[in-house]
Chains A and B, each alone.
Chain A
Amino acid sequence: MQTVENARPLEVLLVEDNIGDVDLVWSYLRKSNAAVSMSVARDGHQAISVLRNRREHGPLPDIVLLDLNLPKLGGIDVLRVVKEDSLLRRIPVIVLTSSSTSEEIGRVYEMGANCCLTKSIDLTGFRQVMQSIEQFWFHAVCLPTNLHESERDQGVAFPTSAG
């Protein structure tokens, strides 16, 4: 397990304005067996400042759970900032949305989201979604290891290319 290799638990950055959702996600993660720590950003601006701060001073979160419907700066804008940055773009972004029009979903993937899930309306559905996230992203996949100092410099040397 990655967390073991890194000698620290996976860090999930949850970008979510709804305190209820934060509570639900946290209550799920707390009960699950995964060694996961969670940071929360309550709007888009906060998310970006957290990420920029971590980009400078490390460590980066391992996974971003991003709600699309955020006050001030929306989830789409956060996604853009992350995916246009040469260093931040390696972080898998899991988009959570309650609206699931095909246009919106398409747009999210176009902008580089790593996966998109619909927030289920009831508890059972929610648990199923969280369970799949846990199984796939926390256990199944290989996540990029955290940044070293040299890489951080490199990131500056190679500015973003994504438009």
Chain B
Amino acid sequence: MLWDPWSWLCAQMHMLGMLFELLERTGVGWLPFAADCAVVVACICVIALIVYLLHRCRDRLSMNRERTNRQFESVMEVAPNAMIMIDPSGEIVLVNRAAEEVFQYAREEMLGESIEMLIPERFRPAHPKLRDAFFEEPQTTLIGQGRPRIGLRKDGTEFELDLGLNPIETTEGLFVLSSIVDMAAHHRTQKTLAQLAAIVESSHDAIIGKAIDGTITNWNRGAEMIYGYPAKEAIGRHISMLIPDGQTDEADQIMQKVVGGVLVDNAETTRRCKDGTLIDVSLTVSPIRDESDVVIGASVIARDITQRKAAEKTLAQYACELEKSNHELEQFAYVASHDLKEPLRMVASFTGLLAEEYRGKLDANADRYIDFATNGAKRMAALIDDLLNYSRVGRMDAPFRAIGLGDMLQHVVDDLRTSIEETQAEISLPEETPRVKGSPTRLRQLFQNLMGNALKFRHPDRPPIIQISCQQCDAFCEIAVKDNGIGVDPDFHERIFQVFQRLHTTAEYPGTGIGLAVCKKIVEQHGGEISVESELGVGTTFRVTLPVYFVDMDPDVHRPKFSKYEGEVPSCKP
């Protein structure tokens, strides 16, 4: 508390007043005494003034010192290192925030305690002596060289530290300020940095740092591998050494973007290697900022995509060739069968005429030969027609649309009415069916073929029973056509879907053997699959998957998903 000269003076005057009163009471005449008193009062006033001035002087000094102290303390507080000040007795007088963090003690827990609390027990006995030695001969030192410097945390764990000691002379005596670095944390940081550096270094991608003016500042091994320049050759040079002629604008544009703080992500471009070869790279360029958020450079990650590009090109080429070849094949099948028909018509027509006009006029062999020729021509005509139809699947079809499966199956049954009645077949259709997406003509052809087969390859001993069921699974529905016919030998399950593959003679079952091949092509055109399960003599099941039509596939069509059972969720019928 500051000394108040005014109250001090008041106190003095009060005391004087009391003295006069005493004199009066004792009967001593106060007048002769008054002159003496005036002298005394004057003296007292002068003394008071001097004392007051002295005090002010002292106060200013102490305020200055206090300000210095505060500044010192605040600097110390924000220092990144742990800082602890002790007095000659080893008592902690000051700690900073970093010290709290390093030693895990709160400030109050450390202040006033002995510095030895922060030293492992086994080093404690020797410490005061070391401390005293330092106080006797104080000088700034980095101590502890050659012996372990170990700190003790509150939780009892020990850690390696680096210690700097500073003697601090104050009016209150000599103090020592120790600056402590947690080496464990330091090692951890070092390790992380090393790991990061190793990651950068070992990356197969080129990782390059460049300054804002384009000067290369970092160059990893990936960059060495990709571009061919060793790091010492690349660092310091301008990034333009990698940019092919005529592309310099592009580099500027990238840099402009980055300076504007924009990340350039996976930009595909070309770069020039040391040996002059051009490579395709995918670049990711991101800005590097300083503490004040100003872009000071850019990091470039470049991936060599030359091989990928080449592979893509090859793949695209293959795809193109395949498409071309497929198209040509279709064209071939179509044109060939179309053009084959012309001469075949001649053969068929004139063998027909020959048979009509010369039957019985030549010998018996001639008649037989003419028959062979006529039948052969007929059969060939049928094959060509089938081949033509097969090649037309998907070629001349209208765009896919929504088809009510149930209605369509019913139509097919109606179409087959005659043979169903002839064979006394029993046909069951699924109760609930989704709408499928496809070509109405082709899907009708598909089910006509499947049901037609079931009727045609019926077992001789029993009337055919054909069960058609439908089960929806996500975006597809599976339609099974199950019969109790003669069945297909498992050995031929793959073969039956091939063009003109027949398992029976034409005498047993007529036909060219294109039906299931057409089915397969139709299903595949719709993105579905067809498979067969069969047991010889028991029956056959053909399973077909077709894409379900969803309303949102076609924004113009606002019809329910199911044609028969509007709004109902389809129940999957096994």
Contacts and interface: CB of A to CB of B under 8 A. Distances in A.
A102 B396 contact: yes
Contacts of B385: 121
Contacts of A21: 346
Interface string B327-353: 000000000001001101110111011
Contact of A69 (B342, B349, B353): B342
B381 interface: yes
B204 interface: no
Interface string A15-49: 00010110010010000000000000000000000
A132 interface: no
Interface string A114-129: 0000011111101000
A18 B346 contact: yes
Interface of A: 18, 20-21, 24, 27, 69, 98-99, 101-103, 119-124, 126
Contacts, number: 44
Contacts of B342: 18, 69, 98
Contacts of B338: 98-99
8 contacts: A20-B346, A24-B353, A98-B338, A102-B396, A121-B341, A121-B344, A121-B348, A122-B348
Given A122-B378, A123-B353, 19 more contacts: A21-B346, A24-B353, A27-B353, A69-B342, A98-B338, A98-B341, A98-B342, A98-B345, A99-B338, A101-B396, A102-B396, A119-B345, A121-B348, A122-B352, A122-B381, A123-B348, A123-B349, A123-B352, A126-B349
A127 to B, nearest CB: 9
A20 B350 CA distance: 8
A69 B356 CA distance: 28
Interface of B is mostly: helix
Nearest to A23: B350
Contacts of B346: 18, 20-21
Interface in B368-411: 377-378, 381, 385, 396
Nearest to B357: A27
B352 A124 contact: yes
A119 B385 CA distance: 13
A101 to B, nearest CB: 7
Among B345, B346, B353, residue most surrounded by chain A Cβ atoms (within 10 Å): B345
Nearest to B385: A121
A124 B355 CA distance: 12
Contact of B345 (A27, A101, A103, A121): A121
B377 A122 contact: yes
A96 B350 CA distance: 18
A98 B344 CA distance: 11
Contacts of A99: 338, 341
Interface of B: 338, 341-342, 344-346, 348-350, 352-353, 356, 377-378, 381, 385, 396
Nearest to B378: A122
A119 B418 CA distance: 29
Among A20, A21, A122, residue most surrounded by chain B Cβ atoms (within 10 Å): A122
A120 B344 CA distance: 11
A99 B341 CA distance: 9
Contacts of B350: 20
Contacts of A27: 353
A126 B377 CA distance: 14
Given A101-B396, A122-B377, A24 B341 contact: no
Contacts of B377: 121-122
Contacts of A101: 396
Nearest to B349: A123
Among B342, B344, B356, B378, residue most surrounded by chain A Cβ atoms (within 10 Å): B342
Contact of B381 (A20, A69, A102, A121): A121
Given A18-B342, A69-B342, A121-B341, A24 B349 contact: yes
A20 B349 contact: yes
Contacts of B356: 123
Among B346, B349, B378, B396, residue most surrounded by chain A Cβ atoms (within 10 Å): B349
A27 B381 CA distance: 23
A27 B342 CA distance: 19
A101 B397 CA distance: 12
B398 to A, nearest CB: 10
Contacts of A69: 342
A21 B347 CA distance: 11
Nearest to A120: B345
Nearest to B348: A122
A10 B522 CA distance: 48
A18 B345 CA distance: 11
B352 to A, nearest CB: 3
Nearest first, the 10 closest Cβ-Cβ pairs linking A and B are A123-B352, A121-B381, A20-B346, A122-B348, A123-B349, A121-B345, A99-B338, A98-B341, A121-B348, A24-B349
A18 B385 CA distance: 21
Given A101-B396, A102-B396, A122 B341 contact: no
B396 A122 contact: no
A146 to B, nearest CB: 33
A124 B350 CA distance: 11
A120 B353 CA distance: 14
Contacts of B349: 20, 24, 122-123, 126
B244 to A, nearest CB: 50
Contacts of B345: 98, 119-122, 126
A119 B416 CA distance: 28
A104 to B, nearest CB: 11
A120 B346 CA distance: 10
A19 B345 CA distance: 12
A27 B356 CA distance: 13
Contacts of A121: 341, 344-345, 348, 377-378, 381, 385
Contacts of B378: 121-122
